Each structure stands twice: as structure tokens, then as C-alpha cells.
């Protein structure tokens, strides 16, 4: 009985979190321009979205900003984590706390201060959105990689050095594979945050460039195009598939083999 109640409560939470998403998916198959009435099942919005140039440009901007910002943020964060790991403790604490500011800061303030700063030195546009996204992405990758570096087995790295590997080789062949899952986790989190961001993009974009979020927000007042539901649902499905596939394959077999080898030695 107690377990049933707990399951029920958990299920309720999921209903709360997923109902709005389900509605949007249903709307993407709705054969009616009016969103409050059901006009039958259709796939036409999915077909039409590929001929909507504004939509495709916004999609391209969103995807490229997400991937590039997450990539650059991962590189900076990985280097930072390696550096901080070698720092004296009190220095490390200062650097970590400073890096936390964008996480704890409000989106609106992050957006505004970056808009004010970059607006003074450059024309707001693609580049300023990219810089803003790198800024809020760095801490997430950093916080995901740093514990992995602290926890990894240092003796293996040192053994590699003792056996004649230079620092670079030892890093790429020993340390990096060890922290790769955390790094990829941070990278994926960064892509997710960047794709979902509205507030920071809204302030730092300037005029004339849209990501999906700002395009949708702009359309809300005039009435949203149904193609928007189709595109967003499609992104949702693709990522869901990737996550399901990733859960089943995540280099798991290979890693387990490695563990077995270690145990035998």
C-alpha cells in the first residue's frame, strides 16, 4: 500500500511535467489552424516545415549555437578543471566560486549585463549570442568534469609517465578516456541548456537574428504557426531516441571488459 502511494505520487509528478509536452505533440498532428479545436490527424505540418525558410534559418542558428557553444565551453572547462586540480586549495576555492556566479545569477541579469557589455564593443548578433551561451555553459561542464578529475585513478596516469609516456600522451591515452563520460555528460547538458535558452538569447541577439525560442516568442502575439509544433516535436523525438539508444549502448560493454581485465591483473 505504501509503495503504491509512492508510485502514484511519482506518477502524478510525471503527469504534471509531461502533460504540456504531450499537448504540444498532439497539436503537431492537428489538422486545424486553430489550436483549441481538433481537426483530425495530419502530417502536413511536418512536410511543410521544410519549405519555411525563416523556420529553417532559426533552426540552423539554434543548432549551430548550441553545438559550437557547448564545444568551446567544454574545451575551456576541461582545461580549467585540469588547472584548478593543480592549484592550491584556497586559490581553487576562489576560482570555483567565481565560476559559480553565472549558475546562481538570474538569467535576466546575465542577459542584460552581457547585452550592455557586448553592445558597447560590437554589433549584437550571432557572435554575441554565441559568447553569451559559452558563458552560461562553461560552469555546467566544469562542475561535471572537476569531480571526475579529482576521483580518477592517478596511479595509472603516473604509471604511464613512469613507463615513458610524455604528459600529452599520458593525458590523451589514460586520463581523457577516464573522464570522457563526465565530459560528454557536461557537453550534452550544455547543448540542452543552450537549445532551451530563451532569456539570455532574447537580450543578446540584437535585431535581425532569431533562434527557435525567440522566433516562437515573437510569433506568440500574432499566432503561432503549426509548423512550429511539428519542428519542436521532431527535435523532441530525435533526442528521445538518442537518449534511449544511449542508455542501451553507452560504451558499456567495452568498459566492463576493461574492468574485467583490471580485476584479472
5-44: which residues touch another protein (CB under 8 A)?
6-7, 9-10, 13-14, 16-21, 23-24, 35-36
Q: Residue from 45, 157, 187, 229 that binds another protein (CB under 8 A)?
A: 229
We find the least distance from the C-beta atom of residue 259 to another protein, in angstroms, to be 18
Q: Is residue 52 involved in binding another protein (CB under 8 A)?
A: no
We find the least distance from the C-beta atom of residue 94 to another protein, in angstroms, to be 10
Q: Is residue 105 involved in binding another protein (CB under 8 A)?
A: yes
Q: Residue from 240, 245, 249, 260 that binds another protein (CB under 8 A)?
A: 240
Q: Is residue 95 involved in binding another protein (CB under 8 A)?
A: yes
Q: What is d(CA 7, CA 13) in angstroms, rounded to the nearest whole number? A: 10
* DSSP-assigned letters across all residues of 9-71: HHHHHHHHHHHHHHHHHHHHTB--SSTTS---B--HHHHHGGG-HHHHHHHHHHHHHHHHHHH
* DSSP-assigned letters across all residues of 215-227: HHHHHHHH---HH
Q: What is d(CA 30, CA 92) in angstroms, rounded to the nearest whole number? A: 54
**In the chain, what is the straight-line distance between the N-terminal and C-terminal CA atoms, in Å?**
48
We find the least distance from the C-beta atom of residue 34 to another protein, in angstroms, to be 11
Work out the burial of residue 194: count CB atoms within 10 Å of its CB; fewer than 13 is exposed, 13-18 middle, 19 or more buried: buried
We find the least distance from the C-beta atom of residue 27 to another protein, in angstroms, to be 8
Q: Residue from 29, 140, 157, 203 that binds another protein (CB under 8 A)?
A: 203
We find the least distance from the C-beta atom of residue 113 to another protein, in angstroms, to be 4
The stretch near another protein (CB under 8 A) out of 49-57, 101-109, 152-160, 253-261 is 101-109
Q: 224: Cβ–Cβ under 8 A, 6 or more apart, which residues?
A: 35, 216
Q: Residue from 49, 55, 160, 212 that binds another protein (CB under 8 A)?
A: 212
Amino acid at each position: 500500500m505504501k509503495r503504491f502511494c509512492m508510485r502514484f505520487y511519482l506518477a502524478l509528478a510525471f503527469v504534471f511535467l509531461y502533460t504540456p509536452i504531450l499537448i504540444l505533440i498532439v497539436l503537431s498532428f492537428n489538422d486545424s489552424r486553430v489550436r483549441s479545436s481538433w481537426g483530425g490527424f495530419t502530417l502536413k505540418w511536418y512536410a511543410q516545415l521544410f519549405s519555411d525558410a525563416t523556420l529553417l534559418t532559426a533552426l540552423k542558428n539554434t543548432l549551430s549555437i548550441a553545438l559550437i557553444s557547448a564545444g568551446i565551453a567544454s574545451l575551456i572547462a576541461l582545461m580549467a578543471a585540469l588547472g584548478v586540480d593543480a592549484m592550491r586549495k584556497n586559490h581553487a576555492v576562489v576560482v570555483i566560486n567565481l565560476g559559480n556566479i553565472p549558475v546562481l545569477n538570474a538569467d535576466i541579469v546575465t542577459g542584460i549585463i552581457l547585452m550592455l557589455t557586448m553592445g558597447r564593443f560590437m554589433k549584437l548578433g550571432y557572435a554575441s549570442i554565441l559568447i553569451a551561451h559559452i558563458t552560461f555553459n562553461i560552469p555546467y561542464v566544469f562542475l561535471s568534469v572537476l569531480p571526475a578529475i579529482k576521483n580518477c585513478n592517478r596511479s595509472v596516469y603516473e604509471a604511464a609517465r613512469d613507463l615513458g609516456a610524455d604528459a600529452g600522451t599520458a593525458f590523451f591515452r589514460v586520463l581523457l578516456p577516464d573522464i570522457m563520460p563526465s565530459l560528454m555528460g557536461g557537453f550534452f547538458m550544455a547543448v540542452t541548456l543552450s537549445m532551451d535558452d530563451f532569456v539570455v538569447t532574447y537580450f543578446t541577439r540584437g535585431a535581425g537574428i532569431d533562434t527557435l525560442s525567440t522566433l516562437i516568442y515573437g510569433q506568440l502575439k500574432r499566432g503561432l504557426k503549426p509548423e512550429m509544433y511539428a519542428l519542436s516535436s521532431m527535435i523532441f523525438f530525435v533526442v528521445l531516441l538518442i537518449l534511449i539508444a544511449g542508455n542501451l549502448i553507452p560504451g558499456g560493454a567495452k568498459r566492463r571488459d576493461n574492468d574485467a581485465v583490471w580485476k584479472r591483473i
